[in-house]
A and B are shown apart, each in its own frame.
Chain A
Amino acid sequence: MRTYGFFVLKRFGQLLIVVFLGVSATFFITHLSPLDPVEQTMGRLTRQSGFSPEAQEAMRAALTELYGTDKPLLEQFYSFWSRLVRGDMGPSLLAFPTPALRLVKRALPWTVGLLTTTVLITWTVGNLLGGLAGYFQNSRLLKAFGVFAIGVQPIPYYIVAFIMLILFGFLWPVLPISGGAGMFVEPGWNIHYALSIVHHSILPASSIVVVGLGTWFLGMRALVSNVVTEDYVTYAEFGGVESRKIVGSYVIRNAMIPQLTALAMVLGGVFSGTIITEEVFSYPGVGTLLIDAVNAGDYTLVLAVTSISIATVATAIFVIDLLYPLLDPRVRVR
């Protein structure tokens, strides 16, 4: 138990280092970007307005002071970490002086809700069908599904999403094609809003599932195809063990380990959002927020999104590392 505790502590230390290095790298990359948030704000304000050159200069000087972009980079770096350890990510420059964290908190539930649901659906169904297809290789139904998966998987996601949008939003317009919920529906914990969210998520979620299912299916089928040739499976079959038990306890369970690692990685990545889904269906989420922030040179907001993403991916891997010995008896802590 002491050994396991030391292992946990060591991995936790690594986690902290990874997060610090990842967030710091993002800080320097965003701050070395040629995009100047002051100029981006100036562009938005002056693009179509009649500000005189003198007024523009006065504005530029005031914004530079407000945003603190004239300070040395190391001073900004120190200030950033001082704030971050207190849970303050600073004001968004795109929506100054609104706290960046507030914008992320508003967008995050949509992304996490949509992606967690779709990832879990695709992972469960894809792996289950893939596992069965790998074991019952003569099943016509599973073969047909394999053909479907191979057919759909190479199609770019954007195309699939757009085809679904045309089918169910234009040719047979039965599903809403934009937004996270209907207009005129009071947001909150009520049945109208909940149904509206489900209704609006059908198309974006289906598009992700249709494309994502094939990846898990094909991966699992390949893994199982290798496992079924193992001696212990052959031995179990000769020993008269039930097929259901062989598939569930011997084959899929063993093939599941790498899929579980991949699931953790994908779930961690959920916090980065799905930019294309959000763009195609005007679905709210952090992906669009991140793109807008990058285009506007709003590095505070970029840092807020990426810091959360880095921390969650690193934490997901940390948790999986801790769970591995429990899932796979072959892995033992030395």
Chain B
Amino acid sequence: MKMKTLTGALVLAFAATGLWGQIGGLPREESLIIQNPEGAPSNPGCFNLWWGCGGGWSTGLHQLALDTFWYIDPNAGVDGVIHNSLAAGPPEYNDDFSEMTVFLRQGIYWSDGVEFTSADVVYTVESQIEHPGATWSGAFSTNVESVQAIDDYTVRFILKAPNSRFQSVFSVRWNAAWIIPKHIFENEDPTTFEFNPPVSLGPYTLHSYDPNGSWHIWERRPDWERTTVAEFGMPAPRYAIYRHGIPTDRRLIEMVNGDLDMIHDLTPEGTFSIVKQDETAQGWFPGFPYAHPDPTLPAVVFNTQNEKFQDKRVRWALALMLDAQTMSLASYRGAATFSAIQVPPTGLHPDDYHEPMQDWLETFTIEAGGKTFQPYDPEVTLRIAETVRRQFDGVPEDEQAIRRSFGYGWWAQNLEAAALLLEDAGFEKQGNNWYMPNGERFTVELGYSAEGVMSRLGSIIVQQWIQAGVDATSRTDPQLWDQMFMGEFDAQIGWSVETWGGHPDLSFFLDSWHSEFVAEPGARQPARNWQRWSHPDLDRIIEEIRTIDFNDPRGVELGQEFVRLTVEEMPTIPIMSYNVFSVQSNRYWTNFPTSENNYANPVTNWANGRYILNLIEPASR
């Protein structure tokens, strides 16, 4: 009896304190609960990400409380791909791109009531340069000779050398250089100041946070109309709750229990399961394959400084040994989005690259052993769709929809052509084993992560190479990426192509592919030309891109030229986009972005996801 009384008292005590549910006293119907994939920050009370200090980035801080000049959407955007945020319009360069002038929006205020002006911009740049090791110190110190406030709403950057893409430092993809509140930081040591509580320039301000790093809660500013997203209406949720570090299996439970509205990503199987169990759950596509293709392109990255991979015929032969359908089913259970070219099949890229280049790809030929082959297979993704249709619901029927979600096509597996290419390159086949021109066995060690879809992909590629006679082996060392940076690898599942997504300009990754940045063997390679590949034509393309404006239509022509060059040379084997299985629940909120309403990227850690809060609506409405 005593035991029962004690238990009852405890239950009542918990209920009375309002702790039974996950969010306690917050009104659930006014709260958007978001999973942050970044993990629990080690120092959650630090908000000075201009220095670091372990506070985390995507805790809601860079999505909801900070701001900068421009946002470039990986999809179509709310009102076009580029949103002029703190800038009143696009950047204005002088003729030789050695100066950039930015006109600032007026009437934008920090959350403490101080107006945002050019003084904040000047302070941001100068203080970062003054403190080497600060997050954007390198980006500014290598580019900016000086920065001037022409007036309260005009800033001019004098650059150390012409740079037609300097605005990318202030253009949000995942993040960008955020503007510092001068009136707060100027009286502090910026290297130790924790900026707690943060003074916000975005539509939300800090409400509270868990000192142990499990969550951060942001509350809509009463003066949200004095922020840059006001033109899209009032952000709907009063509270935005970011929950950090939830393991994959628990995300699913939390969403079904109503304690999560937005999941950054699940496994393919987790996604298939939740859309069956919870009718309010949705993915990017209305049916299979559900996932959002990120503007990142997983590929087989060759170390082209290794003698084995210097001949493009060898690289091509390894590509033609692979079967797309097998790779798709093994890695993403069929939910892969293929790209045969060095541009991710995501955002608006299919309109600028994949669709217009279909004819060229279909007629593209390679010569091997005196024969001519047409390696491109535009039907393979249609066949994959047919295969998965037997297992999953919602696979699109329309050909165009299939190409958008499964990709436009890929290289047809052709072991005959692969063999002839290797023979042309001086290789010899004895039995089912290939030998290199120096008489040694043709070995390829493929590195890939130890778990997840990329692990499954790497494993199936190794199997296919072995079946084709290559002595292929796997490596799943935790230091894989570091070894790739140092050039200590044969080949690896990695990505050296990352794009804006919504904008066709390729300079985000391509500029770093210039031969001037290729490191000597054994030296560290700066991001992102991990394959250490160089080509005179590539340098010419990059150098011309540097001389034209970001929005110049010539940029797409040069981009397509780059695609043709890399198809011929195959410096890496591009495979598929990095598909993120983001899931949203429509139980409390609706109008999340989808493939049909592609106003934003549904992943939760990208800063340009902030517009989602303006466009979602209460489900009860």
B-contacting residues of A (Cβ < 8 Å)?
Answer: 34-36, 39, 41, 43, 45-46, 48-59, 61-63, 65-66, 92, 94-98, 102-103, 106-107, 110, 162, 165-166, 169-170, 173, 176-185, 187, 191-192, 195-196, 199, 279-280, 282, 284, 288-289, 292-293, 301
Report the bound CA distance from A56 to B227 in whole Å. Answer: 32
> What chain A residues lie within 8 Å of B511 (beta carbons)?
52
> What chain B residues lie within 8 Å of A301 (beta carbons)?
42
> What chain A residues lie within 8 Å of B247 (beta carbons)?
279-280, 282
**Known contacts A94-B54, A184-B217; is-contact A53 B527 (Cβ 8 Å):** yes
Whether B257 and A170, one on each chain, are in contact in the complex, defined by CB atoms closer than 8 angstroms, is yes
- The A-contacting residues of B in range 122-162, CB under 8 angstroms, are 132-133, 135, 137-139, 141-143
Whether A106 and B24, one on each chain, are in contact in the complex, defined by CB atoms closer than 8 angstroms, is no
B313 close to chain A: CB less than 8 A: no
Whether A284 and B217, one on each chain, are in contact in the complex, defined by CB atoms closer than 8 angstroms, is no
Out of A51, A179, A192, A279, name the residue touching B138 (CB < 8 Å).
A51
Q: Chain A interface mostly helix, strand, loop or mixed?
A: helix
Out of A66, A98, A162, A181, name the residue touching B46 (CB < 8 Å).
A98
Report the bound CA distance from A79 to B439 in whole Å. Answer: 53
Whether A51 and B174, one on each chain, are in contact in the complex, defined by CB atoms closer than 8 angstroms, is no
Whether A103 and B138, one on each chain, are in contact in the complex, defined by CB atoms closer than 8 angstroms, is no
Report the bound CA distance from A95 to B283 in whole Å. Answer: 35
CB distance from A158 to the nearest CB of B (A): 11
Whether A169 and B257, one on each chain, are in contact in the complex, defined by CB atoms closer than 8 angstroms, is yes
Out of A192, A195, A284, name the residue touching B212 (CB < 8 Å).
A284
Whether A182 and B19, one on each chain, are in contact in the complex, defined by CB atoms closer than 8 angstroms, is yes
**Known contacts A96-B52, A284-B212; is-contact A184 B250 (Cβ 8 Å):** no
Whether A107 and B17, one on each chain, are in contact in the complex, defined by CB atoms closer than 8 angstroms, is no
A-contacting residues of B (Cβ < 8 Å)?
Answer: 13-14, 17, 19, 22-26, 39-43, 46, 51-55, 132-133, 135, 137-139, 141-143, 168-169, 171, 173-176, 191-192, 208, 210-215, 217, 241, 243, 245-247, 249-250, 253-254, 256-257, 479, 481-482, 485, 498, 508, 511-512, 517, 524, 526-527
Whether B22 and A176, one on each chain, are in contact in the complex, defined by CB atoms closer than 8 angstroms, is yes
Out of A53, A66, A183, name the residue touching B517 (CB < 8 Å).
A53
16 contacts between A and B (CB under 8 A): A50-B508, A57-B138, A59-B137, A61-B132, A66-B133, A94-B42, A95-B53, A97-B192, A103-B54, A106-B211, A176-B22, A179-B212, A181-B210, A181-B212, A184-B217, A288-B40
Whether A103 and B214, one on each chain, are in contact in the complex, defined by CB atoms closer than 8 angstroms, is no
> What chain B residues lie within 8 Å of A95 (beta carbons)?
41-43, 46, 52-55
CB distance from B521 to the nearest CB of A (A): 17
**Known contacts A43-B481, A49-B175, A95-B52; is-contact A63 B133 (Cβ 8 Å):** yes
Whether B46 and A45, one on each chain, are in contact in the complex, defined by CB atoms closer than 8 angstroms, is no
> What chain B residues lie within 8 Å of A293 (beta carbons)?
42
Whether A53 and B512, one on each chain, are in contact in the complex, defined by CB atoms closer than 8 angstroms, is yes
Chain A to chain B: the 6 pairs with minimum beta-carbon distance, closest first: A95-B54, A62-B132, A284-B212, A53-B526, A48-B174, A59-B138
Report the bound CA distance from A57 to B139 in whole Å. Answer: 10
Report the bound CA distance from A53 to B17 in whole Å. Answer: 54
> What chain B residues lie within 8 Å of A62 (beta carbons)?
132-133, 137-138
Whether A183 and B257, one on each chain, are in contact in the complex, defined by CB atoms closer than 8 angstroms, is no
**Known contacts A185-B24, A192-B17; is-contact A35 B479 (Cβ 8 Å):** yes
> What chain A residues lie within 8 Å of B138 (beta carbons)?
51, 54-59, 62
> What chain B residues lie within 8 Å of A98 (beta carbons)?
42-43, 46, 53-54
> What chain B residues lie within 8 Å of A181 (beta carbons)?
210, 212
Report the bound CA distance from A155 to B2 in whole Å. Answer: 34
CB distance from A52 to the nearest CB of B (A): 7
> What chain A residues lie within 8 Å of B13 (beta carbons)?
195
> What chain B residues lie within 8 Å of A176 (beta carbons)?
19, 22
Whether A184 and B23, one on each chain, are in contact in the complex, defined by CB atoms closer than 8 angstroms, is yes
Whether A195 and B17, one on each chain, are in contact in the complex, defined by CB atoms closer than 8 angstroms, is yes
Across the two chains, which residue of chain B brings its CB closest to A192?
B17
Whether B512 and A52, one on each chain, are in contact in the complex, defined by CB atoms closer than 8 angstroms, is yes
> What chain A residues lie within 8 Å of B43 (beta carbons)?
92, 95, 98, 102-103
CB distance from B109 to the nearest CB of A (A): 27
> What chain A residues lie within 8 Å of B39 (beta carbons)?
292
Out of A45, A55, A165, A170, name the residue touching B256 (CB < 8 Å).
A170
> What chain A residues lie within 8 Å of B42 (beta carbons)?
92, 94-95, 98, 103, 289, 292-293, 301
Whether B211 and A187, one on each chain, are in contact in the complex, defined by CB atoms closer than 8 angstroms, is yes
Whether B173 and A50, one on each chain, are in contact in the complex, defined by CB atoms closer than 8 angstroms, is yes
Whether B479 and A34, one on each chain, are in contact in the complex, defined by CB atoms closer than 8 angstroms, is yes
Whether A179 and B479, one on each chain, are in contact in the complex, defined by CB atoms closer than 8 angstroms, is no
CB distance from B304 to the nearest CB of A (A): 17
**Known contacts A35-B479, A192-B19, A282-B245; is-contact A52 B215 (Cβ 8 Å):** no
Report the bound CA distance from A57 to B137 in whole Å. Answer: 11
Most buried by B among A59, A165, A181: A59
CB distance from B98 to the nearest CB of A (A): 16
Out of A51, A52, A59, A178, name the residue touching B214 (CB < 8 Å).
A178
**Known contacts A49-B175, A54-B142, A56-B526; is-contact A182 B22 (Cβ 8 Å):** yes
Report the bound CA distance from A65 to B131 in whole Å. Answer: 12
Q: Given A95-B42, A107-B212, A176-B22, output 12 extra A-B contacts at Cβ < 8 Å.
A: A41-B52, A43-B481, A56-B526, A58-B138, A97-B53, A103-B54, A166-B253, A178-B250, A185-B17, A279-B247, A282-B214, A301-B42
